[in-house]
Structure 1
Amino acid sequence: MSMPHPARIHGAQPALRWLIPSLFALGAHAALAQSAVTLYGVADDGIAYVNNSLGASRTYLRAGNLSTSKFGLLGTEDLGGGLKALFQLEAGFDMNTGANSTSGLLFNRQAFVGLKSDRAGQLTLGRQYTPYYLFLGPYTGSNWLTGATGAHPGDIDGLDSSFRINNSVSYVSPTIAGVTASAQYGVGGIAGSIERGQSLSAAVRYAAGPIGIAAGYLKMYNTELASGFDSASTASIPTSAVNAGYVSARSIQHFAVAGNYTIGDLVLGLNYSNVRYAPGGRSLFKDTAIFNTYSGLASYNFTPAFSLGAGYSYTLASKANGIRSAARYHQVSLKEAYNLSKRTTLYALQAYTHANGQTLGAKGAAQIIDAAALAGDSQNSTPSSTSNQVAVIVGMTVRF
């Protein structure tokens, strides 16, 4: 097809000369209007005091308390007919050093791409949180009291944002009559075995009016290439004094139920979780280790700016692997928050944890030790040398 000679365009009527560039501008504007990329994040830092951190009191700056310090990019493109393409890239960082939260990982928190349909739901691929956490976490102390001091000791049940799954495919259904469901599969990718290194998760949630309740399941398989929970596995898990003796497990299974009931400015919540560390050929223990956690919480907005939250949790471990007195963890958590604006909040957090009984040390069944206290998941690597630990954090967070 031959193109019109430039002279013919320039010689066209004045209205046509105006219309041609206007159409190009209109088309470019429409293309831009159909897609959007948002930069977002949180900057959070505070002063922390711990009465016993590996045997001594400690005062230090701790980032990511009320909310994890992070930044990310969220993008969507409208493909028409109720279908959108989307992506999310999210990185955590330490406010006090500028370092990545996880060494060697740029987008350590999330990195995925996918499609979302108004009628069919959402399908995404990449490094993602589990349906177990995404559906249950908002109803637990990790949300209402913060993960730093409100998560159950060591985040043993993964209801804080500790677990992420690499190489995962996730699906979230549309919400029908208040019910939403989700499933995820982490592809192990180990030659000769589908099971090794894979992860499975599913959850369902009902939310309508003052009631919100969710149930979820998560099972993470080790690659069993070494005695620990290998980095080649799709799941990344935290290690603390609570689970250090069991991270060589062949698989780790979680099941939990959580719910909230809202009465005006008051939110009440209950949750239960069951965690099982199953041994394998390279494990440093021989009997399945079980942790059951029961907890309750309350949060009240005294004014639009000021809120207070409180919670209690009780975690009971099993007696297996030569342990005569099972480990028990009692934890009380408090949170006070004052919003200076919609984006800026001053906060104070407190937690007291008491531990008794026995557990396994890092050497597994060959090292039976007294259970150590640690507040939430803020002291995973620095538990108390006694059965009690108190943590107090005062800080500020700014969202953008």
Structure 2
Amino acid sequence: MKLRRSWVMGGLAIVAAGASVQASAQSSVTIYGALDNALVYTNNQGGLHNLYLRTGNLAASKIGFKGAEDLGGGSQAIFTLENGFDINTGAMSSANTLFNRQSFVGLTNSGYGTITTGRQYTPYFLYVGAIGPTSVLTGATGAHPGDVDGLDTTVRISNSVTYSSPVFGGAQVSALYGFGETAGSVSTGNTYSLAFKYDVSAWNFALGYQRLKNGSGPANAWNSTASGSFSTSAINNGYVSSDNVQMIAGALRYTIDKWMVGANYANAQYKPGAGSLFTQKATFQTLGLITTYQLTPQVALAGGYSYTFEKSANGISDAAKYHQIALEQTYSFSKRSAIYFLEAYQLARGKTLGKTAGSIVDAVAVVGDSQNGSPSSGRNQSVLMVGFRHLF
């Protein structure tokens, strides 16, 4: 009897082990991330030069978890959780928000597409940003001034639903809606985005749109109840009381052998509402050029130029203009580890609105989006970085 019982228990153990192996074969969870730190020199932060350490330059310092479970019939359940942090202090990038970068769950099917819900990047960024300036020039020094057009990772939408179609002949579309969740006013604080991309041979094309609506609360600022927010700096501080912000952008690039060349255009419109601290729509347009060259299997070079100009409005006749040049050199020790050098220079001209209602101020330089909180006191700003990035 004891012998029979041991055989039964052994059989159950084997069956259980087999089920465990089968389950693990049908689902997976991946832990991933990046550690990135650099020594930075800036010639003018509020009139003073500075030498300091800055995290997340070539790649944002982050840790993430993503997983998929095979549901059969070409379907999978998927999720992503991603947190950003400062490697120099250990602090989270966003206080009181654990997974500030991404946190979503959804279903994907090879024939029907993907639907996800949670906190997500917009199709505008995922499609246009993927072949725009920050795809080859890090946003720290390569983003258009102050990331005024949201082509870097600064726009994320909470309480959102995204649908992405399957790829048909190299083409794909995606749409997002972010719920404002304001009782009695469905549109307050909402966000929507639509984008299209097409990859054919050596060419990549993308076109995207996003519109962010202000949340409920005081009209003289961007309210935290909105499903999405945008990057702010001396470039657009005069327009943070917008009723809504609309961004349209397109990008293309061509790759041949070791060379890649690309161009991009973006139009960002900040529209006033009742109680806003400005009265006429503010429009920033940007024209950009980018290029990369794979010098050796280990050495990659990149460069870019952008010209951002504000449309005259709100009492401004000599509207702001920003010229920016960014360079990057990367030496990869392996697929995961690299040392990098970044150089950028920006020249500002003209006038823009300041934080105070109706105040017209001189435009000042703000390189990429690394200097959003530390703009120049004058017309120009230079930034130099040397850093190390490790992926895991």
- After TM superposition, the score normalised by the length of structure 1 is 0.96
Displacement after TM superposition at 1:298 (Å): 0.6
2-side partners of 1:377 and 1:58: how far apart? Answer: 16
Amino acid paired to 2:93: S
Residue of structure 2 equivalent to 1:383: 375
Residue of structure 2 equivalent to 1:139: 131
Displacement after TM superposition at 1:13 (Å): 11
Displacement after TM superposition at 1:284 (Å): 0.4
Distance of aligned partners of 1:12 and 1:90 in 2 relative to their CA distance in 1, 3 Å threshold: closer
Q: Which runs of 4+ in 1 moved over 2 A?
A: 9-14, 16-24
Residue of structure 2 equivalent to 1:339: 332
Equivalent pair of 2:195/2:208 in contact (CA under 8 Å): yes
Deviations 1:318-348 (A, max 9, x none): 1110112010000000000000111001000
Residue of structure 2 equivalent to 1:183: 175
Partner-residue secondary structure (3-state), 1:21: helix
2-side partners of 1:351 and 1:244: how far apart? Answer: 22
2-side partners of 1:218 and 1:43: how far apart? Answer: 30
Does structure 1 residue 79 correspond to structure 2 residue 71?
A: yes
Residue of structure 2 equivalent to 1:63: 55
> Which of residues 229, 238, 254 is equivalent to 2:231?
238
Displacement after TM superposition at 1:12 (Å): 7.8
Displacement after TM superposition at 1:303 (Å): 0.6
Equivalent pair of 1:224/1:282 in contact (CA under 8 Å): no
> Which of residues 346, 355, 358 is equivalent to 1:353?
346
Higher Rg: 1
Matches within 5 A, 1:234-273: 234-273=227-266
1-side partners of 2:242 and 2:10: how far apart? Answer: 71
Q: How many residues align?
A: 391
Distance of aligned partners of 1:168 and 1:13 in 2 relative to their CA distance in 1, 3 Å threshold: closer
Residue of structure 1 equivalent to 2:44: 52
Matches within 5 A, 1:1-400: 7=1, 10-11=3-4, 19-226=11-218, 227-364=220-357, 366-400=358-392
Equivalent pair of 2:216/2:225 in contact (CA under 8 Å): no
Deviations 1:3-50 (A, max 9, x none): xxxx5x953896x77644322221121112111111100000000001
Structure 2 stretches lacking a partner, 5+ long: none
Deviations 1:244-280 (A, max 9, x none): 0001000000000001100111010100011110100
- After TM superposition, the score normalised by the length of structure 2 is 0.97
Deviations 1:160-191 (A, max 9, x none): 00000010000111000000110000011111
Provide the aligned C-alpha RMSD in A.
1.3
2-side partners of 1:76 and 1:358: how far apart? Answer: 51
Deviations 1:339-369 (A, max 9, x none): 01110010000110000100011123x2110
Displacement after TM superposition at 1:113 (Å): 0.5
Amino acid paired to 2:355: A
2-side partners of 1:281 and 1:165: how far apart? Answer: 24
1-side partners of 2:265 and 2:381: how far apart? Answer: 23
Residue of structure 2 equivalent to 1:4: none
1-side partners of 2:165 and 2:145: how far apart? Answer: 32
Deviations 1:225-255 (A, max 9, x none): 1111111000021110001000100000000
2-side partners of 1:302 and 1:369: how far apart? Answer: 44
